[in-house]
Amino acid sequence: MLHGLVYTVESHVLILNHDPVFEDRLLSFFDTEEGLEIRVVRSVSQAVLVLIAENFDGFIVEGPPAAAIEAATVGRQHFPSLKILCVPWQRPPQNLLDEADRQQIVLADGTMSTKRLRREVMHFVQSLENHRSVPEEGIDPCHSLIGNLNQFSAAEILQMACLSQRSGRFTFKSSRGKSEIYLHHGSVRHALYGTLEGEAAVAEIFRWRQGRFYFEEGLISHAHTVDRPWAHLLIDNLQKLDETLDVATVKIHQ
């Protein structure tokens, strides 16, 4: 009964276009494409938040040369294994070309004919299927991410990861030391910071305002030290943080 059935897996692509209403040349390439799911964002910050919250196979950036390559570079810094295509509307100067090469960003000449540009963009999209692989030991390097806590707080990062039902390990590093939070299908399962475990460790991590974080998709903890839903953890710890800040403010004014 199942003989002859074909199963297709859609490629999931995020496109950053600052002006998708009037500058939609690239977007028009995807109107008739099947087996492809795209999402369009208008700013770098929105792109990073969406990439954190969802798994994408590729990231395409188009726009003026400096802005486009800068946005692609930001994407690379946060997502070291993500495949990125940059399509500047004009030819970039040599220093920007060199930067794109250092960041392993694929460039397509946005000044070429529509037919040639479409061929290059579709070649990039097709390469995403080959980029998929079965992760070893549950780790998926294509969906790892890196970032700074001065750009996004630990609470924001955790909230987005839980809402997207992610499983894996967050590692946070700062002058205070190293901490870890494990997620399992969008729930906080285990947290560790020094001698602290569970909710106490989560509360400490939420206080951090500087440092870096790294998320590895698919790493699961056998330890289970957190039982409450992530939303309860988030609300309780943010309330405690607000109370701490209020007390600190009162002492300063005294």
> Could you list the mean pLDDT of each consecutive 10-residue stretch along the chain, which spans 254 residues?
40 85 78 80 87 85 94 88 92 93 93 92 85 45 69 82 86 90 92 93 88 86 90 75 43 43
Largest CA distance in the chain: 79
| Tokens 């780790």 belong to residue | 139
CA distance linking residue 17 with residue 39, whole number of Å: 10
Tokens 């990231």 identify what position?
A: 59
Write down the H helix ranges in 103-141.
Answer: 114-131
C-alpha distance from residue 6 to each of 9, 43, 125, 243 (Å) = 10, 37, 20, 57
pLDDT of residue 69: 95
Would you tell me how many other CB atoms lie within 10 Å of the CB of residue 229? 13
Q: What is the pLDDT of residue 37?
A: 86
Is the whole model's pTM more than 0.75, yes or no? no
Which residues are within 8 A (CB) of 235 and not within 5 positions of it... i.e. 6 or more apart? Answer: none
CB 197 within 8 A of CB 174: no
Distance CA 93, CA 80 (A): 24
pLDDT value at residue 250: 37
DSSP 111: T
Amino acid at 130: N
Helices and strands, counts by H and E, the chain: 7, 11
Residue 247's pLDDT is 37
Running DSSP on this structure, what letter comes out for residue 77?
A: H
Residue 14, H or E segment: strand 11-17
pLDDT of residue 152: 77
What is the DSSP pairing of strand 11-17 with strand 58-63? parallel
C-alpha 49/C-alpha 249 separation (Å) is: 31
User: Which of 37, 32, 83, 34 lies closest to 61, judged by CA?
Assistant: 83
Candidates 14, 23, 120; CA nearest to 71 is 14
